[in-house]
Amino acid sequence: MIRALAIVVAALVATAAHAEKPKKARWSISAITLKLFDQDKNAVVSIDKPPNPYGLGLDLLVSVKVKGPTEIEGERPTLSLTVDAPASSDEATGDHDAWHEAQTRAITTLGDKGAMWFLFLVPYQCYENVTFAAKLTGAEISADKTLAKNLGCAE
């Protein structure tokens, strides 16, 4: 009887020692979305149907969805957005320098659900092959996501 009890206690201790700690939520960037802000109408509009063909009076609203733990411990991560497009040239509008825009945001909370959208405001420019790259950095944190989009205008 004592031997059986000792075996049960040993099994329970071994099970408790090998029980996994709850895993922390992993940091990730799950989405990048684009919309346009029409300055003339003070309205958010679809990027697929711009209100004018030349991009005049428009700003890009770039939203980045970050997922991670509901409580941030230690160093706060940083979310950065870079917008890049190569130099180009065409007959109608001539030469265009490469486009590079960079912005950062400190992540202070992800709310009760561990996910939150962060907004970046970027001036609209007419470019083909634009790359939107979001990167999350911090202590033991590394996540990124990219989105390619043409932001063409009428010639």
Domains annotated on the chain, with CATH: 23-33+62-151 (2.60.40)
Q: What is the pLDDT of residue 21?
A: 46
- Only one residue has tokens 């411990």, namely 73
Q: What is the pLDDT of residue 73?
A: 80
Stretch among 20-34, 36-50, 87-101, 135-149 having the lowest mean pLDDT: 20-34
Q: Which residue has the higher pLDDT, 122 or 20?
A: 122
Q: pLDDT tens across 68-120, in order?
A: 998 888 788 999 999 999 998 877 778 889 999 999 999 988 989 999 999 99
pTM: 0.80
